[in-house]
Amino acid sequence: GGHTRVAQAVLIREGDGGGRSAVAASEARQGPSVFIAVGLLAIYFAMNVLFSIYNKWLFSGAIPAPVFITATHQGFCFLGAVLFALCSPRGWYSRTPLQGSAMWTKVMIISFGFCLNIGLNNLSLASTTLALNQLVRAFAPVTVAVASYLLEGRMYSIQKQATLAALVIGVGLGVSASPDFEMIGFLICAASVFGSTLQLVLTAYFLHGRTVNLHVFDVLLYTAVPSIFVLAPLAYIVGDYEHTAQAIQTLGPARFTGLVATGGALAFSYNLVTVCLIKYTSSVYYAVAGGFKVAAVIGFSFVAFDQQVSLPSLIGIMLACVAFTAYSYLTFKEKEAARHQQTTNRRRKKTLLEDGDTDEDRTGLLSGKPKSLDDV
């Protein structure tokens, strides 16, 4: 995990961006082919597992320079986004110009948040197991819920509170009872989780609910270069350049370049698969899929690596996976109910969509006007 900007885009929208009638919007939402949806989900899970395992393997031995490699991933994503903008099918993507202080503010927040969130997450992979990394990352809904309560007074349903409580117990038991527990790796990974929450807090604080229209590939185009500028000095501080030089000598320039290029290709491919998944289903399906991917990555991590687990830790991992998936499902149901209510209201109006309606109204994709930290 931790290698996509999709969740960081405030608004994912169709490239044509034009208004359409309620009838056309309804037809567009009638649903994708089951085979396409299942196929994309399978590819999405496979990419998650493959990229996570590849990063863990790379940072733990072959090239122990996670921050530097993360910066190269951004370079590949930037180049891939440029090529996609030039070669993508008509209607898939149209670049959004940066206009106004809100857009610039959002771009800077995403860049800063990415370095805290993904940069620290990848750094932790060099010091902890992939299973514990994913387990700690699964704690993110709890930190977001706490921030939402403190800043907005947001209250959650009893069902969601129960899943969050189970998540806290599961993560705590799984981490504390693990034979592979390492304090340094745990602290770095925990910092990455709080970094992602800080990004949401900053977004809510600086944007004050203003709409910011950014496609996923807008995010890659506009934030990759600023992220590289932030990651470059951080890589120097943690000694990644020395590790990189040693890796080049050990592996040879050709193999080193191949490994870096493979990681960059995986990073961009993951973003592309995620865009396809959202475009052919919806963002709410992508959100609930995130709950299952945690369990998938943790499960396959025990197949790929020599990880140890005690019975209490295994119980904690299973409890955390179930709780995280249940929380994602409850969020999915809430969004579906809200979308159904919006559809009902539009039918009552029996009128065309207004220019001010969000893309949630037009396509069922992620709304760009956050009403709470959960929607940022």
User: Which of 49, 86, 120, 113 shows the shortest CA–CA distance to 266?
Assistant: 49
What the block records as the tokens of 319 is 């409890």
Per-residue confidence band for 27, with pLDDT thresholds at 50, 70 and 90? very low
Out of 96-100, 193-197, 358-362, pick the least confident: 358-362
Q: Higher-confidence residue: 306 or 370?
A: 306
Q: Higher-confidence residue: 210 or 130?
A: 130
Q: Higher-confidence residue: 155 or 186?
A: 186
User: Which of 374, 361, 284, 370 shows the shortest CA–CA distance to 329?
Assistant: 284
Separation of alpha carbons 134 and 323, rounded Å: 14
Q: For residue 245, what pLDDT is reported?
A: 95
3-state SS, residue 321: helix
Q: Across residues 31-55, what is the average pLDDT? A: 83
> What pTM, to 2 d.p., does this model score?
0.76
Q: What is the mean pLDDT of the chain?
A: 79
Separation of alpha carbons 221 and 219, rounded Å: 5
Q: For residue 211, what pLDDT is reported?
A: 62
Q: Across residues 163-181, what is the average pLDDT? A: 92
Per the document, the length of the chain is 376
Q: How many helices (H) and strands (E) does the chain have?
A: 15, 0
Highest mean pLDDT among 11-20, 26-35, 311-320: 311-320
